[in-house]
Amino acid sequence: MTGRDLIPFFVRCGLAALALVWVVTSRAVGDDAPINVLLITSDDLGLHLGCYEDPVARTPNLDALAAQSTVFRNAYVAQASCSPSRSAMFTGTYPHTNGQYALVNSGYSLHPRFRDQTIPNLLKPAGYRTGIAGKLHVAPESSFEFDQRIRVNTRDVVKTADAAAGFIDQSGDQPFFLMVNYSDPHWDRENGQGPWFYRDQVAGVPAKIMTAGDVQPFAFQGYRSDEHLDRVAGYYNAVHRLDAAIGLLLEQLQESGKADNTLVLFVSDHGAPFARGKTTCYEAGLRVPFMIRWPGLTKPRTSLALVSTIDLLPTILDAAGVAIPDHVQGGSLRRLTQGDESTARRYLVGEFHSHGLMPFYPRRAIRDSRYKLIHNLLPGRDVQSRMDGDPSISESRDREAIPAVFEASYQQFADAPEYELFDLAADPWELSNLAGDPALADIQQRLTGAMRQWQDETEDPLRDGEVIQRFIRNAQARKIVQPPVQ
């Protein structure tokens, strides 16, 4: 089941014109030249874009990119926590395989086996110039072979675009791999300390600021209070700043003359930093925007195929003509971007371990085209009352801010049963747990069997209850567990 076959006015308007230029000139020049790769990631972005039918978001630049791309509607990250998620992007393997179980600041890092098997390390022998702008957030950073590390506040959209343009220009005729990691719409802090908050503007962007009266509760939360809607508005302001940033970045790429020979991939590292989103195995945590513009290959379309961010590495290596290592657990999306859905996987999986060292709360999730099963490996634990700057769970216990239809889901989130089963067609935000329903017993049994098969095939160490207890003991003692990699 590896799936190997598998801003301102000038920003809003400029990219629309660039879209027409790109369609006409795509791969018209240098068809035999190695393809460049521009991988763009956002931090903590859920499906809150115009091209994903969000009712609030105004994202003309990403919408224009989507119109030129294969847009994946059912894309999962491997784990809805920054470092583990990015480790999966860089290695094409799940965090339980590569060892980056939690954030780097908790002490976890890639297993030594995978430290020379990341995207930049595999592209460099093929002649690529490699660069990264913004956060890396996978350890150890010294093992990543980037020719240039661009230190820039990626919330400053102009400085980031200019820095990226400099890297592209300096690459000359050498093919490049550039990863641009935007901090928006992650919460911010003053000098990395103190309470989390959202900056409504940075260097005047976005030009128009949203307030609580302009937004509505997230569909996956339903939580409503004046304070919370202020937080939601701040999130959307950050999303709009991200959109402006990407507009400028792609404008710089177009002006470089290299857009027609550059593979552009855009993805988020996980869902929004709000309760029932980030750090969960719910759809609002695992499911993210993901689009690919592949010159000369992409058929602009929407795909319902089940794809994962572990597919990023094999897709990029495939485009670059570099062999995909045997240990990679994802697959190239080349054929899907050409419209061939026959290569799509039947099941899509995600996982969670912890964000920091504690609380350690392992979960596994698997879904097919309709149903989804979550296995909470340590059920019945109250593990999380707050997510970054969102205290929705703790506030909801004291206030009448949660609609009745959400009450059970919030209780289940805080005190989870062993299994959760959802019909995503009828219940896309997972409010009604159907686990144990006799009418769905066959479906639950099938998904449970598929999950166990995936765990066996990927040698998931958390199949062993003693390993789970060792994680807990060591986390409490602030020690790191690195199960052996087979």
Per-residue pLDDT reduced to its tens digit, 171-216: 999 999 999 999 999 999 887 777 888 999 999 999 999 999 999 9
Which pLDDT does position 408 carry in this prediction?
76
pLDDT at residue 27 tops 50? no
Alpha carbons 90 and 97: distance in angstroms, whole number: 13
Q: Convert the pLDDT of each residue in 117-160 to its tens digit.
A: 999 999 999 999 999 999 999 999 999 999 999 999 999 999 99
Name the residue with higher pLDDT: 331 or 391. 331
Summarize pLDDT for 382-437 with one digit per residue, the tens: 555 556 667 766 665 555 667 777 777 777 777 789 999 999 999 999 999 999 99
E strands, 371-417, in order: 371-376
Question: Across residues 92-106, what is the average pLDDT?
Answer: 95
For the chain, first and last CA: distance in Å? Answer: 17
Question: Taking phi first (over 0 means left), then psi (-120 to 50 degrees means alpha), and beta for anything else, what does residue 246 get?
Answer: alpha
Instruction: Return the structure tokens found at 315.
Output: 């897709």
Confidence category of residue 30, pLDDT binned at 50, 70, 90:
very low
Exposed, middle or buried, 5 (CB in 10 Å: 0-12/13-18/19+)?
Answer: middle
pLDDT at res. 1: 43
> Which element (helix H / strand E) includes 82?
helix 82-91
Say what the pTM is. Answer: 0.92
- The strands making up 419-423's β-sheet, listed across from edge to edge, are 348-352, 363-367, 371-376, 419-423
Mean pLDDT lowest for which of 6-10, 235-239, 359-363, 452-456?
Answer: 6-10
Distance separating alpha carbons of residues 470 and 187, to the nearest angstrom: 32
Q: What percent of the chain has pLDDT over 70?
A: 88
How many residues can be counted in the chain?
486
Distances (CA, A) of 46 to 194, 270, 389: 25, 7, 16
Residues 6+ apart with CB under 8 A from 30: 260, 261
pLDDT score at 112: 95
Q: Are 238 and 198 in contact (CB under 8 A)?
A: yes
* E-state strands within 80-192: 129-134, 148-150, 176-182, 188-190
Please report the pLDDT score of residue 7 as a whole number. 37
The tokens of 200 are what?
Answer: 């409504």
Is the previous residue joined to 140 through a cis bond, with omega within 30 degrees of 0? yes
Go through 159-171 and write b for each residue having 16 or more CB atoms within 10 A of its CB, e for each that does not. bbbebbbebbeeb
Three-point CA angle 302, 328, 34, nearest 5° = 65
